[in-house]
């Protein structure tokens, strides 16, 4: 039997982190002790009070049946309360909130609700790959907005040609940003709302890292901006805030028609998030938040150790105000891929090449702060030992 994949699958590049895992295993097979600073998967355990909530909920047979497609009313109401408390944003939990099986799932499915073949989505570069992949799966075309150092890694939306903007249906944004760790200002978001209103574009803001911030910085919600809810939605995840990456629970909030369109796609594709996990999510959102403060303290300590060490070695890096990533310029004479290969093969350190997030990421590498401080110190020592 001859098996042939679809054209959409044939056009896909190798998934970035799958390729990194392959190379990592090749080096590990040679007996090298790997320090993995590649994939952004927290090493800090899920807080105990959240785990206990899941244990209790799992013992109730009522939670073993199919959940609601768009989320438990209790979970959606908890999301609305959290948004009001954290950002001052009022949401209707019945119309403006949808539960997701992790924010990645929702982001990937959203274009199916609003993109027709030939339509354009405005996608940042470098960026989380799913913005472009989701657009491709829906038959759309991505117009890439370069995130450049001279623009503080914010897209220059004034440079988008009017003929492109007129064809665009969606704009993806992500602040605090993965991979650059940049943060967005109120002025920038206000300009986005104005642009979206002018061209009738749905703004899709991925705010997965909003609670991972340092030095007193409090990232904005896009929905805090006047008029934002009339042009778009915001995606959130419990993955990074509460160290729940494997639990697969997130949500989207905002414009009720956009939320409804996403919910319509989900009802035809999946059967909703496991109710037990939603109950644990309620505990995460409404329980003791000292775990979030402690998480930020740990990552800030790791950040400071790594930034100081890399600067002493001579690498160009700035301490981020949010996320658990460092966006580092590759040394002169190296491409992104060459420098990550050098660090892996010579020092046993896994990092992520910036060009894997898009062509505008060339010349950078991303390092995740997802190992303890002793291993971070060791990573600095290894880089210093092998040089570059």
Q: What local confidence, expressed as pLDDT, does residue 23 receive?
A: 81
List, in sequence order, the alpha helices (H) in 244-372.
256-269, 275-286, 290-313, 336-347
CATH topology of domain 7-45+290-386: 3.90.1150
Query: How crowded is residue 99: how many other Cβ atoms within 10 Å of its Cβ?
Result: 26
Query: Please, what's the b/e burial string for 259-287 (b: 16 or more CB within 10 A of its CB; e: otherwise)?
Result: bebbbebbeeeeebbbbbbbbbbbbbbeb
CATH topology agreement for domains 7-45+290-386 and 48-286? no
Question: What digits encode the pLDDT tens for the residues 258-314?
Answer: 999 999 999 999 999 999 999 999 999 999 999 999 999 999 999 999 999 999 999
Distance CA 63, CA 123 (A): 38
Domain segments of the chain as ranges: 7-45+290-386, 48-286
Distance of CA 205 to the CA centre of its chain: 10
Largest CA distance in the chain: 61
Residue 347 has φ and ψ, to the nearest 5°, of -120, -5
Q: What is the mean pLDDT of residues 311-331?
A: 96
Q: For residues 358 and 285, is the Cβ–Cβ distance under 8 A? A: no
CA-nearest of 276, 289, 284, 288 to 72 is 276
Which tokens in the block code for residue 208?
């997965």
Q: For residues 200 and 346, is the Cβ–Cβ distance under 8 A? A: no
Domain 48-286 annotated CATH 3.40.1350.10: no
pTM of the model: 0.96
In the structure, what pLDDT confidence band is assigned to residue 20 with cuts at 50, 70 and 90? Answer: confident
Question: What digits encode the pLDDT tens for the residues 141-199?
Answer: 999 999 999 999 999 999 999 999 999 999 999 999 999 999 999 999 999 999 999 99
Does 176 sit behind a cis peptide bond, omega within 30 degrees of 0 on the bond before it?
Answer: yes
């Amino acid at each position: 039997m001859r098996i042939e994949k679809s054209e959409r699958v044939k056009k896909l590049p190798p998934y970035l982190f799958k390729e990194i895992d392959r190379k990592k295993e090749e080096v590990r097979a040679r007996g090298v002790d790997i320090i993995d600073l590649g994939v952004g998967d927290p090493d800090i355990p899920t807080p105990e009070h959240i785990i206990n909530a899941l244990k209790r909920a799992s013992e109730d047979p009522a939670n073993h049946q199919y959940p609601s497609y768009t989320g438990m009313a209790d979970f959606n109401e908890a999301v609305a309360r959290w948004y009001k408390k954290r950002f001052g944003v009022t949401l209707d939990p019945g119309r403006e909130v949808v539960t997701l099986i992790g924010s990645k799932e929702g982001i990937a499915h959203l274009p199916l609700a609003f993109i027709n073949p030939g339509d354009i989505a405005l996608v940042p570069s470098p960026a989380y790959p799913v913005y472009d992949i989701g657009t491709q799966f829906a038959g759309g075309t991505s117009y890439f907005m370069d995130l450049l150092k001279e623009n503080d890694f914010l897209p220059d939306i004034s440079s988008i040609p009017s003929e492109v903007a007129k064809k665009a249906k969606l704009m993806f944004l992500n602040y605090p940003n993965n991979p650059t760790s940049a943060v967005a200002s109120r002025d920038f978001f206000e300009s986005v709302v104005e642009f979206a209103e002018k061209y009738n574009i749905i703004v899709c803001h991925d705010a997965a890292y909003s609670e991972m911030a340092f030095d007193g910085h409090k990232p904005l919600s896009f929905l805090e901006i006047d008029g934002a809810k009339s042009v778009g939605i915001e995606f959130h995840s419990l993955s990074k805030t509460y160290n729940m990456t494997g639990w697969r629970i997130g949500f989207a909030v905002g414009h009720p028609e956009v939320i409804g369109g996403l919910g319509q796609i989900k009802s035809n594709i999946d059967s909703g998030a496991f109710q037990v996990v939603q109950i644990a999510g309620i505990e995460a959102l409404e329980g003791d938040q000292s775990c979030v403060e402690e998480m930020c303290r740990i990552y800030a300590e790791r950040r400071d150790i790594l930034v100081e060490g890399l600067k002493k070695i001579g690498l160009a890096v700035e301490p981020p105000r949010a996320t658990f990533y460092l966006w580092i310029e590759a040394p002169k004479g190296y491409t992104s891929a060459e420098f990550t290969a050098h660090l892996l093969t010579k020092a046993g350190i896994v990092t992520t090449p910036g060009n894997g997030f898009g062509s505008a990421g060339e010349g950078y590498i991303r390092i995740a702060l997802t190992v303890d401080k002793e291993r971070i110190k060791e990573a600095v020592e290894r880089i210093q030992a092998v040089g570059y």
